[in-house]
């Protein structure tokens, strides 16, 4: 899937991945897609909750080689 911006938060633990994602999304336009790469195992639940609470859409998430990838569409 295409994305407009990429954010690498590998090596960071909660709450830093969410905080950096929130900042990145604030700099983007409505409808744009942010790809986030994280290594924190708790990030899956964190990003699901973040999407519900903020109204941004979690388009997909997956894991490859212990790196979690999320595609988030800005509301």
In a structure prediction context, what are the per-residue pLDDT tens digits for the chain, which is 75 residues long? 899 999 999 999 999 999 999 999 999 999 999 999 999 999 999 999 999 999 999 999 999 999 999 999 999
Q: Record the pTM.
A: 0.95
d(CA 67, CA 20) in angstroms, rounded, equals 17
Pick among 3.30.110.40, 2.40.50.100, 3.50.40.10, 3.40.50.1980: CATH of 5-73: 3.30.110.40
Concerning whether 11 is annotated as a catalytic residue, the answer is: no
Residue tagged active-site, from 14, 24, 33, 71: 14
Tokens at 2, concatenated: 């295409």
d(CA 73, CA 75) in angstroms, rounded, equals 6
């Amino acid at each position: 899937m295409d994305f407009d911006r990429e954010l690498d938060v590998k090596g960071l633990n909660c709450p830093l991945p969410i905080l950096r994602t929130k900042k990145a999304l604030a700099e983007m336009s409505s409808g744009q897609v942010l790809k986030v790469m994280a290594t924190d195992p708790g990030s899956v639940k964190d990003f699901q909750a973040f999407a519900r609470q903020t109204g941004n859409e979690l388009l997909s998430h997956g894991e490859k080689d212990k790196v979690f990838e999320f595609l988030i569409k800005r509301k």
